Amino acid sequence: MLDSSRDRVRASSQVYKELRITVVIPCLNEEQGIEKVLRRMPAFVDETIVVDNNSTDRTAEVASSLGAIVIREDVRGYGRSYKRGFSIATGDIIITLDGDHSYPPDAISYLLEAFLHLEADFLNASRFPVRDRHAMSFKHKLGNLILSLAMSILYFRWVRDSQSGMWVFRRSILDQMSLESDGMAFSEEIKIEALMHPTARFEEISILYSSRLGEIKLNPWRDGLYNLWFLVRKRFARRSAR
């Protein structure tokens, strides 16, 4: 059954409006989620890269049987995995999402259309407003709001979801980004770098976010407080670097 899905993913791949599309997914023990994500991947995606950090479940096996390129990164970390995945991506456009099936692969086509229509270079998929009552706790909503307000104030630009893990961007803008975070702060860091990029246009639109499958890897207090500190530190480090 897995084999026929792989053939379907490979055989139907086609260029999207003359752009090659790469999807990058970091995964740590997401055997349940990654199967659903890959089965729902649109046929026009040319390359799907799953970056696995030595998962102890069947994540790597499931992902490769469904046609993804599986990269093993030995050093743990969300940011570390993304940097590794980006370094081997070949698409003109890179799209990211979690392997836990909380971000909708079906939204990729409409995000791409919006990305092209808005002439964006970096499009952030905001999880807000959250419609699925079970998708995000009140504590997480509040934490996300605080972090997004902090980013908006520090960087003088309204960003509704500084912690979203779903982005669409031109691979070429990575050349002028300085991405240091190896951990969860990578999500806000790439948005800051896109906002501060000399030529890139940053846009944001909503998607429907839903409950994750499998176990959460985020530690809300530790990662939330660290991300707040990271925002402030990066803001003032940038200023003194000028």
Q: Based on CB atoms, which residue is closest to Mg ion, 31 or 100? A: 100
Which of 48, 53, 162, 181 contacts ligand GTP by CB under 6 A?
53
Least CB distance from residue 9 to ligand GTP, whole Å?
19
Q: From ligand GTP, Mg ion, none, which one binds at residue 99 (CB under 5 to 8 Å depending on kind)? A: ligand GTP
Least CB distance from residue 103 to Mg ion, whole Å?
7
Q: Based on CB atoms, which residue is closest to ligand GTP, 97 or 192? A: 97
**Phi and psi dihedrals of 20, rounded to 5?**
-85, 135
Least CB distance from residue 182 to ligand GTP, whole Å?
9
Is 51 a binder of ligand GTP (CB under 6 A)?
yes
**Cα distances (angstroms) measured from residue 98 to each of 12, 36, 52, 104, 129:** 23, 11, 12, 9, 19
CB of 100 closer than 8 Å to CB of 27: no
Is 30 a binder of ligand GTP (CB under 6 A)?
yes
Token readout for 157 is: 């630009």
Amino acid at 203: E
- The helix (H) or strand (E) run that includes residue 46 is none
Minimal CA–CA distance to 62: which of 25, 96, 22, 23?
A: 25
Q: Based on CB atoms, which residue is closest to ligand GTP, 28 or 231? A: 28
Is 188 a binder of Mg ion (CB under 5 A)?
no
Is 27 a binder of ligand GTP (CB under 6 A)?
yes
From 67-75, 80-88, 102-110, 231-239, span contacting Mg ion (CB under 5 A)? 102-110
CA distance 226 to 182: 13
Which of 48, 59, 96, 102 contacts Mg ion by CB under 5 A?
102
Is 224 a binder of ligand GTP (CB under 6 A)?
no
Q: Give a three-class secondary structure readout of 86-151.
A: HHHCCCCEEEECCCCCCCCCCHHHHHHHHHHHCCCCEEEEECCCCCCCCCCCHHHHHHHHHHHHHH
Q: How many CB atoms lie within 10 A of CB 19?
A: 15
Residues that bind ligand GTP (CB under 6 A): 26-28, 30, 51-53, 76-78, 81, 98-100, 102, 165, 212, 216-218
Residues that bind Mg ion (CB under 5 A): 98, 100, 102, 212
